[in-house]
Structure 1
Amino acid sequence: MIATLPEAYDLVVVGSGWFGLGAARAYIQSHPDHKIAVIESNDSVGGTWSEKRLYPGLKSNNMLGSYEFPDFPMKKEVYGVQELGHIPGAVLNRYLTDFSKHYGIYERLQFNSTVGLVESTESGWTLTVTSPSGERKVQTEKLILATGLTSTPNLPSYKGAESFGKPLFHAKDFCRRADELKGAKNVVVVGGAKSAYDVAYAMVESGATVDLVIKPDSNGPVWIAPRKVTPLEHRIDTILNVRALSWFSPCPWGHEDGFGRVRKFLEKTSLGRMLVRGFWKVMGNDVLQRNQYDNHPELQKLKPWHSVFWIGSGLSILNYNTSFFDMIRDGKVRVHIENIDHLALGKVVLENGDELIADAMICSTGWKKESTITFVGLDKTGLGLPIDEKEQANLSLEYDTKVLKDFPILEKQPTLRSKPKKASEPLRYYRFMIPSGMLAKRNFAFAGMISTVSTAICASTQGLWITAYFDGRLEREAKTQDEVTREIMMHTQWGKWRYPCGYGASLPDFVFEGIPYVDMLLRDIGVRNKRKGSFIKELLSPYCPKDYNGVLDEYRTKNGIVGK
């Protein structure tokens, strides 16, 4: 029997969501003759927006113009989305599919293929890939993992679940298991995130009554805003990318926008910090007043528990065809701030003794942030910093002190209701993409291991940065291991203090920090980061994907790269 040789590639990208497609496109256009594969566990592109994850009524938080790749506009006449229209999930799947076909990604895709093992070798990487046809080995010189943060559901374990006798699953499977919900009259939805609201809304639309259960020891109900905010009626999905407003969010890479003096005034002076607090108070109060939480006792239960300043990218938008809050006022969605004690046949029993009749239970309980891929053959530092636990602990304390010294406004943290968890290390990668021990090898990167409201812009920029990094064409990068370690520590330890009610303690979480992050990456690459036509527009006009149209072409021209 003749042994089958492994497939061999110059680059493999794992994942075909926004970040996987952005990374594949940049590399393909810079290396048109290289052999490239994109491995995808689903049977369609899109990640979160893949076909089998599209449940009824699913729409993006973003509206037309803010959720598209810079040089592949989502044209109204092609996709049927109107101004101020939230983009339906099916349209996003079609758009991302069209993008992948336009840039030669689709023909390189391997669907229904899951990477379980990644082995470091002298020539690069060997992947163990499982598909319906069996297990196979894939070799590649370079590897990009773009599996994202919403791949592995976090499904709680409930006492008595084996006797529940009704459909019980994570919101990720809402579309796949929709047939099991037909005729359901009473449904329990667990969670306070936007996806929980989406599921509750869809079930009421289908004729059910919903009990929405939110744990009292969680971060509480999501901050959710109407599509326009502030007395000036700004679009919420673009106001977060206004450069001047980003100054009001203390950030260690904020100075990359070139306005370090303004930031120092806001961060270092009492008057500056007073202005920052005032800004966030106005933003928060505007949303609270528009949503009228205090006008109904049930709706009051969904009033956010903490200031919007501390929330992070979990901030969401009301994108429903009718009022979700009216469903609560009308008693079609009943809110419970309670823990679940146990399950019984067709019942969910709360700790206070209330029994909720349930024809189904759907858990919108978040995602496991750790990768399901096993790495072998790495040195002792693996994916972490090249230091031992004691040195890591000392550095964490050192950078806790430094963060609070540089950003005193973060010292007075909110009082959380959630129980203290065992401290775990956040994702500590250079520029949030490269494990420091692999930096010199230039053959591995993560794409999309950030949670951001500026997904499309960050996805295309990270993709280009990774290509430049692989090719040794970054104009600016850390020179020594100590410099790398200290930058990583500052950037990641900051997250713990900045977004305690978001993901900050475990992974990069961006709200107003997204555009300064893109500034940093473009300056590394040597491409112009200020892309508006005038100083006033640079400060006050929101950055949208179209503003970054041509960035890849500028990079290729600058480096004499000829391609398609």
Structure 2
Amino acid sequence: MAYTSDSDIERVDVVVVGAGWNGLISAKTYLDFMPSANLIIIDDNSTFGGVWSAEKIYPSLYAQIKHGLFEYSFYPMRNEGITEDGYISGQTIHQYLNDFAWDFDLIRRSRLQTTVTHVFRTVWGGWRLELGGKAPVECTKLIYASGATSHPVIPNWPNKGFCSPIIHSAEIGTHLKTLKNIESATVVGGAKSSYDTVFLLLKAGKKVDWIIREDGSGPLAIMPPTLLGMANTMDVVTTRFVALMGCSIMNTDGSIQNFIQRTYLGQVIAWLFWILVNWIAERHAGYSKSENAKKLRPGPHGNGIFWANAGLGAASVPLFWKTFHEGNCTVHRTDIQSLGDGNTVTLKDGTCYQTDYMVLCTGFDKSFHVFSEQMQEDYGFIASPAERARWSKLDLDAGKTVDDLLPAIKTSPFGLSKSFTREETAGGRKLLHGPSRHYRRLVVPSLAAQGDRSVFFPGFIHTIYTPMVSEVQALWGVAFLLGLHDTPSLEEMEREVAEWTVWSRKRYVSQGKKHAYAIYDFLPYIDTLLRDLGVNPQRKKSYLASLFSPAYPREYRGIADEFRRAVAKERSLISTARGTPETATPEPI
């Protein structure tokens, strides 16, 4: 159905795209500052939660982070559906986000089962969203919070008569009844979702063929749920000590940083730390128990946990490795050659077998496809050919800076790995793999430099600390939209973008080339955003506590109020310096 007249168009102040962790907290934060705003939330799922919506979860799905670490700072999660090791069930997370939407009056503002098909700029400087089968919406401010896990990647193979169902891992929740009745299944991919899917199938007694490409980034680096049974792994990962050892571009200033990152002895200490962590992980997994298990060992051998080339996960589901070792699972380190008659899968190594079901755990692409290709280039979603030479120079300078600050990651253990191109997937859609050139991973530098405060993009960063990162991104982004803090010059923003991009691909190799990846770096990232806002990022009473104890979200409670006070103080100082009486506080504050 086409809508062409002005009377068909709905006009609002703010549109939030996405009803998951990022969209919900962004909407709530904006309304905290501007309670009279006409704000709506759009999401194509039928329930709240994004990747944790009711249609995408299933009984054996658990988050890979501990209870108490996976919540907003001011809204505690119920202690329900928690494993003995402290990990949280998908149902608990879905209920938490649903309760959050109810408690903060976001239900009536939400348009579920509504798909954004195109996004345009209006002639008056706002945004127009075309919606599938519904009237368009125009807004002054756009918060595009669809996140990094909302657009499934669907590979394309030659298919001659293959009739078994092929689904993406995001669809498992709606296929549970059918999966109970099959005898065999094929799982494709080495991401965290593939481990969850394999566990689900093996636990149900199914025969599983698990395909992980030899020429890809390999299998996920998997941490045990606890370290030698003494400490919850995620308690350790959410310490500033691990962030210090992790070689973050956002954590290079200070004497201890200089010692660990830029002296020979410090680098040896960090290397030994990661070798120990990797040994603990490999001991727990039992990669040496079988040829199948050996094929799941992440590279490089002996230090895969540090590099996280294929990503980092945790064996959060109870007894994952025991179930894998005892189950009927064959791991294939090759790719699919073709799909054929008789539901036959033919692999590139010559193996042929039949399968009843195929589950694609092939990850997600950035969901910027609703913007035209020209807009994608103009707004830093993809590389612009016209800007290639300029950004090559920026990246070259950034590379020198990263190498000087973090010499431990100067040389990749994987050699000169290939760069990612915009290859096409099933349906002819081009992948948007590659770093977005957004300042602080949130705003388009060129727009910000022009004074355009109409849009920001929360959630396009990969981290295990999702709720707290979302909360701080929302505060930073809303403050930007409302003109409550300023960005630096275009030159400085582009330098920051280049340094992040170069660091990311050096630090996390394959993952860093595809995404804004910060799996060990979420605390320095949060620190950076809070400093921008004038909020103190140090939430512990002592340096040792800050370095070695977990950073719980509840410690950040009140950051919005702290920001308000920082803005009021800054305005007071400006007023005093000008010799004029302080004016009444504007509505947003």
Q: If the length of structure 1 is used for normalisation, what is the TM-score?
A: 0.91
Match of 1:335 among 300, 312, 331: 331
Aligned with 2:182: secondary structure?
A: coil
Shift of 1:44: 0.9
Question: Over aligned residue pairs, what C-alpha RMSD do you find?
Answer: 2.6
Which residues of 2 match residues 498-537 of structure 1 at below 5 A?
498-501=507-510, 503-537=511-545
Number of residue pairs aligned between Structure 1 and Structure 2: 551
Cα distance change of structure 1 residues 416 and 294 upon mapping to structure 2, 3 Å threshold: farther
Shift of 1:28: 1.0
Contact 1:218–1:417 (CA under 8 A) maintained in structure 2: no
Aligned with 1:158: secondary structure?
A: coil
Match of 2:296 among 274, 291, 302: 302
Contact 1:450–1:509 (CA under 8 A) maintained in structure 2: yes
- Matched with 1:362 is 359
Cα distance change of structure 1 residues 57 and 380 upon mapping to structure 2, 3 Å threshold: closer
The answer to which of 3-12 and 239-248 deviates more is: 3-12
Contact 2:140–2:454 (CA under 8 A) maintained in structure 1: yes
- Matched with 1:413 is 412
Offset from partner CA, 1:226-282 (integer Å, 9 cap, x none):
2112x5833222322211331112222214xxx622112222211121122112111
Shift of 1:435: 0.8
Shift of 1:221: 1.6
**Which whole-Å CA distance do the structure 2 matches of 1:468 and 1:341 have between them?**
51
**Which whole-Å CA distance do the structure 1 matches of 2:500 and 2:558 have between them?**
29
- Matched with 2:395 is 396
The answer to which of 487-496 and 113-122 deviates more is: 113-122
Q: If the length of structure 2 is used for normalisation, what is the TM-score?
A: 0.88
Match of 1:268 among 235, 242, 262: 262
Aligned with 1:136: secondary structure?
A: strand
Contact 1:120–1:378 (CA under 8 A) maintained in structure 2: no
- Matched with 2:494 is 485
**Partner letter of residue 363 of structure 2?**
G
**Are 1:447 and 2:458 matched, yes or no?**
yes
Which residues of 2 match residues 60-99 of structure 1 at below 5 A?
60-76=63-79, 79=80, 81=82, 84-99=85-100
Aligned with 1:305: secondary structure?
A: coil
Shift of 1:491: 1.5
The answer to which of 180-189 and 88-97 deviates more is: 180-189
Which residues of 2 match residues 522-561 of structure 1 at below 5 A?
522-558=530-566, 559=568
Shift of 1:416: 6.3
**Partner letter of residue 412 of structure 1?**
T
- Matched with 2:113 is 112
Identity of aligned residues (%): 28
Aligned with 1:219: secondary structure?
A: coil
- Matched with 2:429 is none
Cα distance change of structure 1 residues 232 and 277 upon mapping to structure 2, 3 Å threshold: farther
Contact 1:217–1:417 (CA under 8 A) maintained in structure 2: no
- Matched with 1:15 is 18
**Are 1:130 and 2:128 matched, yes or no?**
no
Match of 1:50 among 53, 59, 63: 53
Shift of 1:418: 6.9
**Which whole-Å CA distance do the structure 2 matches of 1:406 and 1:352 have between them?**
43
Cα distance change of structure 1 residues 379 and 147 upon mapping to structure 2, 3 Å threshold: closer
**Partner letter of residue 263 of structure 2?**
T
- Matched with 1:166 is 164
Shift of 1:149: 1.1
Aligned with 1:43: secondary structure?
A: coil
**Which whole-Å CA distance do the structure 1 matches of 2:234 and 2:588 have between them?**
34
Shift of 1:505: 1.4
Show structure 2 runs of 5+ residues with no match: 423-432, 569-584
Shift of 1:492: 1.6
Contact 1:30–1:556 (CA under 8 A) maintained in structure 2: no
Contact 1:447–1:462 (CA under 8 A) maintained in structure 2: yes
- Matched with 2:475 is 464
Which residues of 2 match residues 180-191 of structure 1 at below 5 A?
180-191=178-189
**Which whole-Å CA distance do the structure 1 matches of 2:310 and 2:414 have between them?**
19
Shift of 1:379: 11
Contact 2:118–2:131 (CA under 8 A) maintained in structure 1: no
The answer to which of 397-406 and 99-108 deviates more is: 397-406
**Partner letter of residue 149 of structure 1?**
A
Shift of 1:378: 5.8
The answer to which of 427-436 and 83-92 deviates more is: 83-92
Offset from partner CA, 1:101-132 (integer Å, 9 cap, x none):
1122222111111112222225443333325x
